[in-house]
Amino acid sequence: MSEINMPTINKTLEALRKNNMQAYFCKNSEEVLELVRSLIKKGDTVTHGGSVTLAQTGIKKLISNGDYNYLDRSAAGLTREQVEEIYIKAFTSDVYLTSANAITESGELYNVDGNSNRVAAILYGPKSVIVIAGYNKIVHDINEAVERIKCTAAPQNTVRLKCNTYCAETGKCVSLEKDGSLMPDGCRSAERICCNYVVSAMQRKKDRIKVIIVGEELGY
Ligand code: SF4
């Protein structure tokens, strides 16, 4: 477990604000729930990307409480077609909740996606995007973010999702076997989860993206 480092967290929050994102720090999941409740209005259409962090913080339970029009992509009995419909409806939602694969100290969000419904919704569509991330997602810069995904996030997510990939077997991306591995290098698996690589830097729509950094280790 890495040490929580408040100067680094504060530097990151300040950089996110300079990039036109709202940025908050919450000590724990209880504070996250209180803050998220204040950022969503009753009756809002709400949905989310796939995320271990949202389950760990109790966000899924919160948005299932009947106060919101929750588009639940993991509801029992949904066909693949119905799940895809929810992905499309996400673009007109009021609030989209997600985590981030990494957040740089310079205030950029870095997300890598296979199906890519999550990165698409972060980029465009939902009126408000709320990103919740444990302090363990903070990295120095984009190079470190790329490494974090190849060595930590992707291997653990492919194991969780039971994907047949090199990193699920070995704990790191196949691209790291090469000298001078580049961001888009990777495996040729049909179940590859790294297909689109998105950096969210300064935003033109001020405050559309809200980032909550939590003083707990969350997600991968
Ligand atoms: S490209 Fe393939 S091997 Fe590399 S991290 Fe992504 S899923 Fe794993």
At 179, the pLDDT band (50, 70, 90 cuts) reads confident
Counting from 1 in the atom list of ligand 1, the atom nearest the Cα of 185 is 1
- For 68-103, how does the pLDDT look when each residue is reduced to its tens digit (9 = 90+)? 999 999 999 999 999 999 999 999 999 999 999 999
pLDDT at 181: 75
Order of strands, edge to edge, in the sheet holding 102-104?
138-139, 102-104, 109-113, 196-200
For 114-219, strand residue ranges (E) read 128-134, 138-139, 196-200, 209-214
Mutate to test the pocket of ligand 1, among 148, 187, 191 (most ligand atoms within 8 A of CB): 187
Whether residue 171 contacts residue 96, with contact meaning beta carbons closer than 8 Å, is answered with: no
Element (H, E) at 89: helix 80-89
Comparing C-alpha atoms, which of 22, 20, 21, 25 is closest to residue 10? 25
Q: Is 146 in the pocket of ligand 1 (CB under 6 A)?
A: no
Q: Is 197 in the pocket of ligand 1 (CB under 6 A)?
A: no
Residues across the chain: 220
Cα 109 to Cα 187: distance, rounded to the nearest angstrom = 23
Domains and CATH numbers, the chain: 6-140+197-214 (3.40.50.10420)
Pairing relationship of beta strands 69-70 and 102-104 according to DSSP bridges = unpaired
Mutate to test the pocket of ligand 1, among 174, 176, 191 (most ligand atoms within 8 A of CB): 174
Residue 200 has pLDDT above 80, yes or no: yes
Residue 1 has pLDDT above 70, yes or no: no
